[in-house]
Amino acid sequence: MAKVYKVSKEPKIGKQKQYKFAQRVKAFHFPVFSNWKLLVIFTNNMAKTLRKYPQTRCIEKESGDYALTVNVPKEDLTFVVLPHDCCLRTVAHEAFHAMEHILGAHDISLSGEIGAYHMGYLVREISKWRSTL
Ligand SMILES: [Zn+2]
């Protein structure tokens, strides 16, 4: 069973402009951790993004869900799903959950230097990639 972490945010006030579905996906691999695959997805429609992947199809998007991390341990796979307009705080929050799980699956504590290094690496790489979108 996939383990899901969610972030909730107050809904925005006022009428929301409707955009066409748009998502960007980037895969990160961690060779030292069984070549674990981390899919980072920026989307403007989380429910639609979740329906796209067999591993996330069963996850119900609730109205307050803003960003989430889905771990699929049997496949050495983690999804981080973020809205396009999220702030760095949310990127770091979900990166934490992803690294917590990846390191935890290898009996490594997130609280030491290995965890701190990987957190820094992941947040920097997601930010660098996002700046090109
Ligand atoms: Zn969380």
Q: What does each of the 133 residues of the chain score in pLDDT, given as a tens digit?
A: 577 777 666 555 555 555 678 899 999 999 989 899 999 999 999 999 999 999 999 888 776 778 999 999 899 999 999 999 899 999 999 999 999 999 999 999 989 899 999 999 999 999 999 999 8
Environment of ion ligand 1 (residues, CB < 5 A): 5
Q: How far is the CA of 93 from the centre of ligand 1 (A)?
A: 6
Residue 14 lies in a domain: no
Compute, in angstroms, the gap from residue 67 CA to the centroid of ligand 1: 9
The Cα 56–Cα 81 span in angstroms is 10
Judge whether 44 lies within some domain. yes
- Our count of domains for the chain comes to 1
The H-or-E segment that residue 25 falls in is strand 23-30
Q: Is 113 domain-assigned? A: yes
**Domain limits at 39?**
3-9+21-130
Task: Quote the distance between the C-alpha of residue 129 and its chain's center.
Answer: 14
Rounded to whole angstroms, the Cα distance separating 33 from 45 reads 30
Ligand 1 centroid vs 128 CA: distance in angstroms? 22
Who's near 45: CB < 8 A, 6+ residues apart? Answer: 21, 23
Distance from the CA of 7 to the center of ligand 1, in angstroms?
A: 5
Cα of 81 from ligand 1 centre, angstroms: 12
| 16: in domain | no
